[in-house]
Structure 1
Amino acid sequence: MPIYMDRHDVSKDVTAEVVADLHQKDLKIQHKFKCTGLTYWYDDNRKTAFCLYEAPNKEAIKEMHEKAHGQVPHQIIEVEPSIVESFLSRIEDPENSKNTALNIINDPAFRTIMVVGLKGLSLHLQNSSQFKSLLSNLDKNLLCGLIKYKGKLVNQTEECFLVSFKSVSNAVHAAFDIRSKFKKSLEAGKEKSIYLKIGISAGVPVTEKNSIFEDSIILAKRMCEFVKGEIILSSEVNDIYKSENSNTIIKIENLCTLTMDDEFFLNHLMDYVDSSWTDVNLKVTDFSKPLGCSKSKLYHKIKSLSGNSPNTFIKEYRLSKALGLLNKTSGNISEIAFDTGFSSPSYFSKCFRKKYGNSPSAYLDSRIN
């Protein structure tokens, strides 16, 4: 049977005891709806509760809650137990709450999400033993940081590492430590063209999206991929860090802290680009209306966030998509050029060579062979 996580936004008068009592009422009648309650999380500061259930469908969970106490979830998503455990460290009740009268669990599901990636890699380096050595060093530095600062590796791909922290301060300090150690390994290898990018956001597991922590993951990835700087913090991460550290202002090289307006613009920009980047006729002026800003403001915001002009920003985005396609297929270069929004294969090859130091065809040949 599928596993679901639901979200309840509760009033300011609700306490951990109240939530525990409501959960017990669910458990008493859950069998009537073929549901099995696995555990729950409650955050008294943010007044949110998240329940984990095995159930035939979402409707069964809604009906059970409605019958038990009338507190219907605001949102329900289907989840994988292993992913839930990776982010939240458990899929059952914590030991210290078991076998108690109410089974009170005052354990927030709020997490700090970190995305770590390598940037500045030429295609030649990406296929070399040197890259494997750098990746191995990053693995070791990341592992040391996770052990020291109590982070959990959720996922690892060729593009990035996805990490979850319970503490905002631990996540930020881990980022500083990981970057510092990795820089030393680069200096030892005399490699100056590579740098680390780390995006850090925070949030709750269930929002209006369909996947767990999707909003926070998307923002962290977008900050890591498109915002200038080596360590980028969301506005919420920065605010919480300051509150946890006596309003300390972080002063470190190549650190970027976004405002809420920056995040709003970045997400709207990337939502629009994600839906329209394959259009060969896409122009920067097309962005103004959906983003609700003038051409001059658009230019200024993209330049200040990414360090690139809007035209360069789009070109870099398309080249990144093209590289992804080349890594997945042995298809026609011309098709990839048009599929990624370039006006001609020759212009695509020119841009690709300038960014990655090799032509698309040469890279494809080297990958296949």
Structure 2
Amino acid sequence: MDIHTVDSDEFSAEDVVKAHMEDLAIQDQFGVKQLKYWVNEQAKTIFCLMEGPDKDACNQVHLQSHGNTACNIIEVADNEYNLFMGQGTDVDDLAKTDSGELDPGYRTILLTNIVSFTKKEQDHLKRIMEVIKEHNGIIVREPDHQTMATFMYANDAISCATSIKNLLDKASDNLEFNLAVVSGKPVDEEGETFFEETKLRVNGLCALGLNSQLYLDKETIVLSDKEMSDQKEKQNNFTILDSDDLLFSMNLSKIVSDNFTRSDFTTEDLFNALGLSKSQASRKIKSLTNMAPNQLIQESRLLRAVSTMIKANKTIAEIGYESGFNSPTYFTRVFKKRFGVSPTDFSKQLA
């Protein structure tokens, strides 16, 4: 699958249809078969799905037919394509929504991060999956305590996230969570995997501790507005992020993740790595996560510890040290104070 970014004031779907016909006329010369394409007139982007022997053959079809080569080409597995892009229909290979509008190719990803400190987590995850399906979402993966889903319509994702939060807020047991809703392109100008940038953003946001936050990027709001449905009231539930906020959150998440094992990693180290003053960094972190910097570091370490307990068979001491705590005793004390249960009892629950 490839991406074309067009720098022209006269860009239109009609032009793309013509170029696609030119591709079809010569594709056999290169052993390539054009399958489907998506046009986003406002963003001036095109995505083409094709079968071919290699990336160069696919690019040669565009080069020889009309000269508009791709900015980037990636390989896409059938199962991943079907999960993210299988909705909608097409007319002569041009992707359309079920209502007959142009399908711009963008998708909205919802990631739910949930940990229950009782034995009810599977019950919550089951109900979350039901809510996702009720809102026309497709579950992409269910790794441990997370559920990722993709939506063709941004409005469905926003409504789904709001419904999940309402569900979790009503839970009577000891439960922690956060959610993120981010929209993006199937192929980025750089990168090698499907929805690479969008997945990095949504995962980065959900790595910033179990702080009961709902994150929503402005790209999703733009898509929602185009769908002519009023979601303004539901958007009030979210922390809204623009492109700069998303870049900051990804950088913040990476810095903390890269320093998990360092028990001597301080807020001063964090400020220096961010390249910001104490006041600037504290203000941005507070605005994004509703946490102070030192609390963010500790929350992220605790989330790392919880994730490790779920995924790996390690001792409490090993998990504590790997998560940046300087002693098992200190790790146990902090964990129990935060979650109301000791690491040992939580591990037994998972057995």
State the Cα RMSD in Å.
3.0
- 1:213 paired residue number: 195
Matched ranges for 1:310-325 at <5 A = 310-325=293-308
Counterpart selection for 1:255 from 238, 245, 256: 238
Counterpart selection for 1:141 from 118, 131, 141: 131
- 2:204 paired residue number: 222
Counterpart selection for 1:97 from 73, 86, 92: 92
- Structure 1 distance, partners of 2:335, 2:102, is 52
Q: SS in structure 1 opposite 2:233?
A: coil
| Conserved 8 A contact 2:155-2:231 | no
Shift of 1:212: 1.5
Counterpart selection for 1:17 from 14, 17, 35: 14
Shift of 1:251: 6.2
Runs of 4+, deviation exceeding 6 Å = none
- Structure 2 distance, partners of 1:303, 1:32, is 57
Provide closer, same or farther for how the CA distance between residues 23 and 245 of structure 1 changes in structure 2, counting only shifts above 3 A.
closer
- 1:102 paired residue number: none
Whether 1:198 and 2:193 are equivalent positions in the alignment is: no
Q: Which amino acid aligns with 2:58?
A: I
Provide closer, same or farther for how the CA distance between residues 255 and 329 of structure 1 changes in structure 2, counting only shifts above 3 A.
closer
Provide closer, same or farther for how the CA distance between residues 80 and 362 of structure 1 changes in structure 2, counting only shifts above 3 A.
same
Whether 1:336 and 2:319 are equivalent positions in the alignment is: yes
- 1:287 paired residue number: 270
TM-score, normalised with respect to structure 2? 0.84
Shift of 1:247: 8.3
Shift of 1:200: 1.3
Whether 1:152 and 2:138 are equivalent positions in the alignment is: yes
Q: Which amino acid aligns with 2:4?
A: H
Provide closer, same or farther for how the CA distance between residues 113 and 136 of structure 1 changes in structure 2, counting only shifts above 3 A.
closer
Question: Could you list the runs of 5+ residues in structure 2 that have no partner in the other structure?
Answer: 95-100
Q: SS in structure 1 opposite 2:49?
A: strand
Shift of 1:8: 0.3
Q: Which amino acid aligns with 2:258?
A: S
- 1:113 paired residue number: 109
- 2:251 paired residue number: 268
Counterpart selection for 2:60 from 33, 43, 63: 63
- 2:287 paired residue number: 304
Shift of 1:311: 1.8
1:229-274 alpha-carbon deviations (Å, 9 max, x no partner): 5432112223444565588743677432224432232122112223
1:28-71 alpha-carbon deviations (Å, 9 max, x no partner): 33333333322211111211111112233323322332223221
- Structure 1 distance, partners of 2:222, 2:338, is 36
- 1:45 paired residue number: 42
1:167-226 alpha-carbon deviations (Å, 9 max, x no partner): 223322333344445656x3xxxx164366332111111112322222223323333453
Q: SS in structure 2 opposite 1:209?
A: coil
1:65-108 alpha-carbon deviations (Å, 9 max, x no partner): 22232211101122112211211125xx9453369xxxxx9431
- Structure 1 distance, partners of 2:157, 2:242, is 19
- Structure 1 distance, partners of 2:11, 2:224, is 27
Give the count of matched residue pairs.
Answer: 342
| Conserved 8 A contact 1:229-1:255 | no
Q: Which amino acid aligns with 2:329?
A: S
| Conserved 8 A contact 2:30-2:57 | yes
1:289-330 alpha-carbon deviations (Å, 9 max, x no partner): 332210121122212222222122112212222222222332
Q: Which amino acid aligns with 1:215?
A: E
- Structure 2 distance, partners of 1:15, 1:317, is 46
